[in-house]
Amino acid sequence: MKGIILHGGHGTRLRPLTHTGPKQLLPIANKPMSEYCLDAIRDCGISDIAIIIGGTGSNKVKEYYGDGSKFNVRITYIEQESPKGIAHAINLCKEFIGDEKFLVFLGDNIIQKSINNIARKFESSDNDALILLCEVENPERFGIADVKDNKITKIMEKPKDPPTNFAVTGIYFLTPKIFDIFARLKPSWRNELEITDALQILLEEKNKIAFEMITDYWKDTGTPQDIIHANMVILKKMTPYFKGKKANDVIIKGNVMVGDETIIGSGVEIEGPAIIGNNCLIDANSRIGPNTSIGNNSKIRKCNIENSIIMSNCEINSDVNIKDSIIAFNSDIRTNLENKTEKIFLLGEGTRISL
C-alpha cells in the first residue's frame, strides 16, 4: 500500500496562526500535527508517501519533511494549485498510486490509537473502500454515514438533519477504482470535488465499502479550541522525562516532559501534563501548566501559563496569567503590570506586544 497526506488548504478558521504557513505544521505537544498522520501511516507498514501541498507556506512543508529519510519514509510532493476539494487533491495522485491500494490522511486529523490492524484487514480484503467513522456531538459539521444492519447505506456532506452522529473522519482506505469516479464527479455548491460524493457514488454502483469505528480519540483540528484540546489529550499520554537543569526549589507535579539544555529557575512550578522543549529558560517564579506546551528556544519569565500552546522561539516577560491561548513562533510579549491580569491570546507568527 501507499500513503497520501493532504497538506493544503487556507486554514481560515485558524487565522492569524495560518497567515504565514499551513495549519498542518502547527505544533501539538511540540510536534507538527501532520507528523502524527505520517507516524500513523508509517505504523501501518507504508513507507511510500505523497504529500499534497498548496497555499501559504508550502515551502515550509518541504523544508520540514525533506525527502522523508529522517522519518524512515520516501516522500513525493504533489502540488495542488488551488483548493478544489479533497477528491480533486487525491486525484492528483493517480500516477503516484498506480494499481496499489492506498491510505489517505487529512493532515489535520489526530488519532491516538494505531490503525495497523485495520490496514492489514483492508489489504487482505476485497473491499473497494474502508472508511473510519467516529461518533460526534455535532454531526451537522461533518460528512455523515447512515448505517443500518452494520452496513453503510448512505454518505452525505454536512446534512442539516443528520440521520446518525457517525462522522466520516479524514482517514480513508481506497483502491484505484476511486479514480474512475473522480473523473465523473461534478463540483458541489462549494465548487469543490467532494470525497463524500465520490464515496456515495461508489456505494450506489454496488461497490463494497466497509467501515471501522474510532472509539479511542479522533479530532479534526479545525479551530484553536480543537488544537488546544488535542494538545491536552496527547500530553496526558506522553511518558515523563527531564533532560534539563533545575534549581533546588523547583516544584514539578504530574506528567512533565523537559528537553535538553533547558533551565528551570528558582521559584518555578510546573504542573503536568506539560512539555517544555529544548534550550528553554523558565524563570522568575513562573508557573507552567497544566495542559501546556512550550516550544524550543523559548524564554518565559514572571508569568503563569495554563491550557495553552507557546511555539518555538517565543519570549514572554510579563506579569500576566495566560490561559486558553496559542502564541505562534517568534512572538515577544513584554508588559510591566502591577497585578497579574488574565489574558487569552491568539497570536500569529512574529507578533510583538509591549504594554
pLDDT at 56 over 80: no
Structural domain includes residue 303: yes
Structural domain includes residue 66: yes
- Tell me the residue range of the domain where 304 lies: 238-354
Q: Burial, 219: exposed, middle or buried (Cβ in 10 Å; 0-12, 13-18, 19+)?
A: buried
pLDDT at 355 over 80: no
pTM for this predicted structure: 0.91
Q: By the 8 A CB rule, do 249 and 284 touch?
A: no
Residue ending a domain, among 223, 258, 279, is 223
Q: What is the pLDDT of residue 344?
A: 86
Cis peptide before 16 (omega within 30 of 0): yes
Q: How far is CA 244 from CA 72, 120, 312, 329, in A?
A: 28, 41, 17, 22
Give the CATH number for residue 310.
2.160.10.10
Are 91 and 191 contained in the same domain?
A: yes
Residue ending a domain, among 163, 192, 223, is 223
Residue ending a domain, among 190, 223, 256, is 223
Are 159 and 135 contained in the same domain?
A: yes
Are 122 and 267 contained in the same domain?
A: no
Structural domain includes residue 232: no
264 against 59, higher pLDDT: 264
Q: By the 8 A CB rule, do 299 and 278 touch?
A: no
Q: How far is CA 270 from CA 132, 235, 257, 321, in A?
A: 37, 14, 10, 14
Are 194 and 341 contained in the same domain?
A: no
Query: What is the number of domains present in the chain?
Result: 2
Are 264 and 304 contained in the same domain?
A: yes
Are 248 and 156 contained in the same domain?
A: no
Are 189 and 287 contained in the same domain?
A: no
pLDDT band at 13 (very low <50, low <70, confident <90, very high): low
pLDDT band at 308 (very low <50, low <70, confident <90, very high): very high
**What are the cell numbers at 268?**
518555578
Structural domain includes residue 230: no
Are 70 and 178 contained in the same domain?
A: yes
Are 210 and 289 contained in the same domain?
A: no
**pLDDT tens-place string over residues 177-215:** 999 999 999 988 888 888 989 999 999 999 999 999 998
Q: By the 8 A CB rule, do 179 and 94 touch?
A: yes
Are 272 and 304 contained in the same domain?
A: yes
Nearest to 288 by CA among 306, 301, 302, 273: 306
Are 57 and 154 contained in the same domain?
A: yes
Q: Give bridge partners of residue 326 from the DSSP assignment.
A: 309, 346
Amino acid sitting at position 248: N
Give the CATH number for residue 176.
3.90.550.10
Nearest to 4 by CA among 51, 36, 38: 51
CB neighbourhood size of 117 (10 A): 11
Are 203 and 337 contained in the same domain?
A: no
Structural domain includes residue 229: no
- CB neighbour burial string for 280-292, b if at least 16 within 10 angstroms, e if fewer: bbbbeebbbbbbb
pLDDT band at 338 (very low <50, low <70, confident <90, very high): low
